[in-house]
Amino acid sequence: MTKKDVKNALNEFGLDLVNQLKKKKNPSFNVPTRTLSNVFFDEKSKTLKLGKKESARTFFNIGQAKKFLQTVEVAAVTKNLIDIDKNSSLRDVYYQVKRTIPGTKIELVEEQTETDKAIEDLEVITGFSREQLHVSANKNGSVAGNVVIEDKGDVIDWGKLGSGGWSIPSIVEAIQFKKVKADYVLYMEKAAVWERLHEDRFWAKNNCIIMSSQGQTTRGIRRLLQRLADEHKLPIYVLTDYDPWGFYIYSVVKYGSIALAHASERLTIPSVRFLGITAEDIEKYDLKKHFIKLKDTDIARIKQVSQYDWFKDNQAWQNQFKKMKQFGAKAEIQALSSRGISFISEKYLPEKIKKKDFLD
């Protein structure tokens, strides 16, 4: 799967339209429907996937002409990006496409969501990821561990980057792993927890990789985790707050999301395991005194997440949701600090990992 393949796919898309024009046809292409009705949970691969529903996008059609043009225009922008070997952010793609259609007062795009959707369509049409189309979202997150990579000609040792660590780029496709000496990857939602573990040199003492975003998991992080899982067979453990939002972070990394169901293969990691915080941790480590009362939005979210296909028949997870409702409370991972500043790195994590106390 090379850059040439991606370019070929884009060329093919363009040539097909040219051929239709030459035959005096009304140019048209098909795009799989990406609404909820066409997203299903595939029991076999254990990921969210797109169904077979497709809709045509036709040029001479009042309702489709603009979307047709947007997709073609975005295809041209991405082809140019590949030609000049540069990457562009989603926002930059929007500005590169944005213009008034000559001779009219019509804007080709009004909002970034339109070019974003066109890029997602192109992912499905070409079979290549947004990153392979040279389009990035925001970068976020840090990583440290016994790993040496090569990226853009630089050799980078993730274990020798001081207190900061390596800043994870938005696109990690071109990274080459030179040395990976780790038993597992610990991925956490909070940068402050990462700094705690890094200062305690948790990754060196426990021979692992620590990775963090701040809040949502970027696609760059998901791909980096996936590559470590696929190419180096590393187990991935997820560490979040004890709340439905934390559970959902795990859910997205493992099963994918509805919005990105078309990209599941390139982003989901079915082998991912949830490390904590669990209801049992709350009881075992006496964290109830640091409970935070559930708000209405939390309760609604618990109901929603617990009914997802991949959770609804999972007894272990249903038990988590049930207990959270019984407690009427959530808790933060930092509540562990009440047991001592390094309780998390010296006791909580080593104990749980040794006992293989995970949720799947």
Peptide bond preceding 277 in cis form (omega within 30 of 0): yes
Q: Could you tell me if 238 and 273 are in contact, meaning their C-beta atoms sit under 8 angstroms apart?
A: yes
What pairing do the DSSP bridges indicate for beta strands 47-50 and 28-32? unpaired
Q: Could you tell me if 330 and 298 are in contact, meaning their C-beta atoms sit under 8 angstroms apart?
A: yes
In single-letter form, the type of residue at position 247 comes to: F
Whose Cβ is closer to its own copies: residue 159's or residue 235's?
Answer: 159
Taking CB under 8 A as the criterion, the residue among 161, 259, 273, 318 binding its own copies is 161
Q: Which of 58, 66, 128, 50 is nearest to 100 (CA)?
A: 66
SS3 assignment, position 64: coil
Q: Is 98 a binder of its own copies (CB under 8 A)? A: yes
**Residue range at the interface with its own copies (CB under 8 A); choices 53-61, 119-127, 171-179, 257-265:** 171-179
Taking CB under 8 A as the criterion, the residue among 32, 82, 337, 347 binding its own copies is 337
The reply to whether 237 belongs to the active site is no
CB of 137 to its own copies, least distance (A): 8
Token pair in block for residue 207: 């021979």
Count of residues that bind its own copies according to CB under 8 A: 61
| Number of neighbours of residue 304 by Cβ within 10 angstroms | 11
**Residue range at the interface with its own copies (CB under 8 A); choices 3-11, 15-23, 64-72, 89-97:** 89-97
Q: Is 76 a binder of its own copies (CB under 8 A)? A: no
CB of 251 to its own copies, least distance (A): 24
Alpha carbon distance 309, 177 (integer Å): 35
Alpha-carbon separation of residue 58 from 70, 106, 184 (angstroms)? 12, 18, 49
Q: Is 200 a binder of its own copies (CB under 8 A)? A: yes
Catalytic residue among 95, 184, 248, 255: 95
Q: Is 106 a binder of its own copies (CB under 8 A)? A: no
Query: Where does this chain bind its own copies (CB under 8 A)?
Result: 81, 84, 86-89, 91-92, 94-96, 98-100, 136-142, 149-156, 160-171, 174-175, 191-192, 194-196, 199-200, 214, 289-290, 332, 334-338, 341-342
